[in-house]
Amino acid sequence: MNLEKICDEIIQSDENITLVAISYRTESYFKEREGTKNLQTKENIEKSLADASLRWVTRRSQTALGAPLYAMARYEKAKRITAPLGRYGIILCVVLPNSDAEKIATKLIKLVQKYSD
C-alpha cells in the first residue's frame, strides 16, 4: 500500500487538513501541509498513531452500536479525526480548530474506502 500517495490524496481533499498520519501493518508515514505551523514532533505523531491503533482495537470490540467509522477529538489548538484504513491500518487527520470536522470525516471515509483490504 502506498501510504505517501494516500496521505497526499487526503491532505489535498480539504484545505483545513493540516496533517495526515497513517499506520498500516508495520509501515507508517505522515505529511504536513506546507506553510502550517508544526504542532507535534515526529515522535509525538508516531506515539499518537500507536495509541490510536490500540484504542481502535477497543472500539472494534464494541459491536452493539455497529462498526466504528471514525472518532473525533477537539483540542485547544486543533481537532483530530481518527479512522480505520482497512482492517490493519489507522489514519489520523489533524484539522483546523474552526473547521467542520464532521464534514471532513465523511469525506475521509469515502476517500479511503477504495484502499480497504
Based on the structure, what is the number of domains in the chain?
1
If you average pLDDT over residues 12-41, what whole number do you get? 92
What's the CATH number where 33 sits? 3.30.450.30
Write out the three cell numbers for 23.
499506520
User: Which amino acid, 75?
Assistant: Y
pLDDT digits (tens, 9 = 90+) for 28-87: 999 999 988 888 889 999 999 999 998 988 888 888 888 889 999 999 999 999 999 988
Helix 101-112 vs helix 3-13: angle between axes, to the nearest 10 degrees? 140
Q: 22 and 90 in contact (C-beta within 8 Å)?
A: yes
Q: 25 and 89 in contact (C-beta within 8 Å)?
A: yes
pTM for the predicted model, two decimal places: 0.91
Domain that holds residue 104: 3-115
From 24, 93, 83, select the one nearest 59 (Cα to Cα): 83
